[in-house]
Amino acid sequence: MKLTRAPYASRDSPLDVSFSDLGSTTGTPLVVFLGLGCVRHIMGLYDEMAECLGIRLITIDRWGLGRTGPPRSKLAKGIPDWAYVVEEILDRLHIDQCSVMAHSAGAPYALAFANRFPERIRGNICLLAPWVGGGEGAGYKWLKPNANYDQPHDIQR
pLDDT given for residue 97 in this prediction: 97
Give the burial string for 110-135 (b: 16+ CB within 10 Å, else e).
bbbbbbbbeebbeeebebeebeeeee
Residue 74 is predicted with a pLDDT of: 67
pLDDT tens-digit map of 72-131: 666 666 888 899 999 999 999 999 999 999 999 899 999 999 999 999 999 999 999 876
Contact 130, 143 (CB under 8 A): no
What is the residue extent of each domain of the chain? 2-143
User: H or E element: which one contains 31?
Assistant: strand 28-33
CATH of domain 2-143: 3.40.50.1820
Provide the whole-model pTM.
0.79
Residue type, 141: K
54 — pLDDT class (breaks 50, 70, 90): very high
Query: What confidence score (pLDDT) does residue 157 get?
Result: 37
What pLDDT does 76 receive? 62
Q: What angle do CA 124, 154, 66 make, to 5 degrees?
A: 55
Tell me the per-residue pLDDT of 139-148, one tens digit each, with 9 for 90 and over: 555 455 554 4
Between 101 and 46, the more confident residue is: 101
pLDDT at 138 over 90: no
Q: What does the pLDDT average to over 18-45?
A: 91
139 vs 11 pLDDT, higher one:
11
Residue 156: its pLDDT value, please? 40
Predicted confidence at residue 152, as pLDDT, reads 40
